[in-house]
Chain A
Amino acid sequence: MNNKGRSLHFILLLLFYFFALLPVVLFLINMPQPNALVQQLPNANSTNNWNNREQILNIYSQWQYQQDAYLLYFVIYLVVVSLLVIAVSRRITKPLRDLERQATAMAEGNLGTAIKSPPGSWWSWREANNLAKSLETARLKILHSYQELESQVAERTWDLQVKVHQLSQAEQKIQATNKALADALALNERQRVMLQDILDNMPVGVLITRAVNGDPEFINHHARQLLDFRASGSDYSSRYQIYQSDRSTLYSAGEIPVNASFSVHRGIYKDDLFARRPDGSFMQLYAQSTVIYDKVGQVELAIMIFDDITARKEIERQKSEFVSVASHQLRTPLSGIKWFAELLLDKRVGKLTDKQRSFADNILQSTQRLIVLVNDLLNVSRIESQRVGISPEPLDLLVLLKKLREELTPLWSVRRQTITITATKPVPLISLDPKFMAEAFTNLLSNAIKYSANEAEIKLELELRPPDVMITVSDLGLGIPLQDQSKVFTKFFRADNVVKKETEGTGLGLYVTKRIIEASGGTITFWSQENQGTQFIITLPLAGSPQISGEKRLI
């Protein structure tokens, strides 16, 4: 509050005093002085005039008296006037002061209390009352606008609170999303690290290349060790140091098994390859590769898994060599027995009794069975060691089957069986290994003969079913019991019913046959019912079987 200026009391008093004192002062100035009165006395100039002296004293005492009376009147007058002024000014200032106090309170924010009008009486002044009323109106207006403001503020505040709430909810959502995202990323990262760890710690080589340029995308630890991998260099083959089976020719870029799978597309590409060790020696690797497609089905990556099979191959080689040597050693005395039996049966060395002849015949037949068994064992050993190569050449299957039928004449003619060979349409020449095919169909045909009754009919049918040719070998013989059917293609399997009949067999024929047909790119299935017959269904690709290099051929 501004305290400058004088209070109204003070100003009024000052005015009153000035105008009240002025006439007094003027009166006092004009009041007849005793000296003047004395001068008016007779003999005024005589100082020794006792009359005068008395009169003079009288004048002075009267003047003195008058002066004292005037002073008293004056003091009373001052007091009365002062009281009056104070009363009047109070009358003026009190409502103002009240208003001032209330306005101050209002200014300090106390808008709740109504402005009181000065107490009304005949002498209360209207202006103060009006001022109070105006102030009250102002207060009410201020109060109203304040309340309005407050309600607006409250409204805005509510809006704000709502917005703040919405924001905080949105923020929570964002935080939750962020957390989920971070979790997902962490999981992703963990999975990536885990995948890398798994791949790196796998005891096989893993090489992943990009379809775009054949560049490596990932090479695991084992693969780097196996391939003596050089990260630099533009020539893939020298980078990978992968050699073909001759151990001197590096694979060209497109032929590297992992990249070869790009052209194969579907399925798994398998190959043996060689890698040179730092010391110059070679190790044999077995590689399998396949391609990985992206979301739109485009080939994106190729993955090759490979392992050092040098030791395994060496064991296989030794095993195969052992079987091969053992078989060869067996075959020499077997040919001796066979030939001696033949000599015994030859009329030139002397005539035998019927019984002797029968015994010699049995020796010959048993020996021949033994020779077949040894040959089968040798073939199984070679097929299993994958040392048997496939050398396809254009082959007329119909001619081959007719030739086999003729070769097997001793088996079926004595039992007066018939073998019919039919082809629905002319079968084109197919690129197949003749020795393989002869072995497979001899096995099937001799089984059919063996397990058929005398005078039975055996059917060989050829049918074109592009992209394959289908060959069925059907008989009406013993059939394969249901419980044995799952074991038909396993090694040394012989069905219960044929064992009981004491027919000869090694249990290797169908095993070898299946291996041959599958190695040639074909399939073999069968249908059979005990005592009703058996039908073997073979498919071979018209495109021919792939060429597989190998050191050995079938016997």
Chain B
Amino acid sequence: MLTKSIKVLVVEDDPFLSKVYQSSFSASGYVMDYAHDGHEALEHMRTFRPDIVLLDLVMPRQDGFEVLELMQQDVSLAGIKVVVLTNLGQPEDKAKCLSLGAVDYLVKTDIAIMDLVAKVKEYVG
């Protein structure tokens, strides 16, 4: 078990995928929180204060790109690591997210869930 509880915010509009994250990350002892769109994600960041955010890009209301932009403008949110998890596979999207401060850009269909857990562990460890 980890000495300090690591808080993970999952921003995902698809409930089934949220469940996958729940199952895989809870088992590893992370404290989880969930947001279903960009607007909710920013609110949760301010209240929940996660260490790391798993951010989807295509969502209702505010999308992942807007979330990244707004996070850059809010100094109180500095230091929160963002891993983008999406099914948009275009290099342009990846470059844009990385330039907006995301630490990684992962394509959902390309990564095994356990590899994702390992990556997150790497970023917060």
A interface residues (Cβ-Cβ under 8 A, vs B): 328, 331-336, 338-340, 342-343, 346, 348-349, 371, 374-375, 552-553, 555
A342/B109 contact (C-beta < 8 A), A335-B17, A349-B27 known: no
Nearest CB of B to A334, in Å: 6
Contact call B20/A339, Cβ cutoff below 8 A: yes
Can you pick out 28 interface pairs between chain A and chain B where the beta carbons lie within 8 Å of each other? Answer: A328-B88, A331-B87, A332-B108, A333-B14, A333-B16, A334-B109, A335-B17, A335-B87, A335-B108, A335-B109, A336-B16, A336-B17, A338-B113, A339-B17, A339-B112, A340-B16, A343-B113, A346-B114, A348-B27, A349-B23, A349-B27, A371-B109, A375-B109, A552-B90, A553-B90, A553-B91, A553-B92, A555-B89
> Does B5 belong to the interface (CB within 8 Å)?
no
> Does B58 belong to the interface (CB within 8 Å)?
yes
A343/B109 contact (C-beta < 8 A), A336-B14, A349-B27 known: no
Nearest CB of B to A548, in Å: 15
**A335 / chain B contacts, CB cutoff of 8 Å:** 17, 87, 108-109
Minimal Cβ-Cβ distance residue in A for B24: A343
Contact call B17/A342, Cβ cutoff below 8 A: no
Contact call B87/A328, Cβ cutoff below 8 A: yes
Contact call A342/B88, Cβ cutoff below 8 A: no
A336/B20 contact (C-beta < 8 A), A331-B108, A349-B27 known: yes
Instruction: Tell me the chain B residues, 5-40 only, with Cβ under 8 Å from chain A.
Output: 14, 16-17, 20, 23-24, 27
Given contacts A335-B108, A336-B20, A339-B112, 17 further A-B contacts (CB under 8 A): A328-B88, A331-B108, A332-B14, A334-B109, A335-B17, A335-B109, A336-B17, A339-B20, A340-B20, A342-B114, A343-B23, A343-B113, A349-B23, A371-B109, A375-B109, A553-B91, A553-B92
Nearest CB of A to B28, in Å: 9
Minimal Cβ-Cβ distance residue in B for A364: B112
The one of B23, B87, B91, B113 that contacts A332, using a Cβ cutoff of 8 Å: B87
Inter-chain residue pair count (beta carbon < 8 A): 50
- Could you tell me how many residues of chain B have their Cβ less than 8 Å away from some Cβ of chain A? 19
B interface residues (Cβ-Cβ under 8 A, vs A): 14, 16-17, 20, 23-24, 27, 58, 87-92, 108-109, 112-114
Nearest CB of A to B4, in Å: 22
A382→B94 CA distance, assembly (Å): 18
Minimal Cβ-Cβ distance residue in B for A552: B90
**B89 / chain A contacts, CB cutoff of 8 Å:** 375, 555
**A331 / chain B contacts, CB cutoff of 8 Å:** 87, 108-109
A60→B90 CA distance, assembly (Å): 186
- Return the 10 tightest CB-CB contacts between A and B, nearest first: A335-B108, A331-B87, A339-B113, A336-B16, A339-B20, A555-B89, A371-B109, A342-B113, A335-B109, A553-B91
A194→B16 CA distance, assembly (Å): 69
A343→B16 CA distance, assembly (Å): 13
**B17 / chain A contacts, CB cutoff of 8 Å:** 332, 335-336, 339
**B88 / chain A contacts, CB cutoff of 8 Å:** 328
Nearest CB of A to B66, in Å: 18
Nearest CB of A to B93, in Å: 10
A338→B88 CA distance, assembly (Å): 17
A340→B108 CA distance, assembly (Å): 13
The interface centre, meaning the residue of B27, B88, B89 with most chain A CB atoms within 10 A of its CB, is B89
Nearest CB of A to B24, in Å: 6
**A343 / chain B contacts, CB cutoff of 8 Å:** 20, 23-24, 113
Minimal Cβ-Cβ distance residue in B for A435: B91
The interface centre, meaning the residue of B16, B27, B87 with most chain A CB atoms within 10 A of its CB, is B87
Contact call B108/A328, Cβ cutoff below 8 A: no
**A332 / chain B contacts, CB cutoff of 8 Å:** 14, 17, 87, 108
**B91 / chain A contacts, CB cutoff of 8 Å:** 553
Minimal Cβ-Cβ distance residue in B for A554: B89
Nearest CB of A to B87, in Å: 4
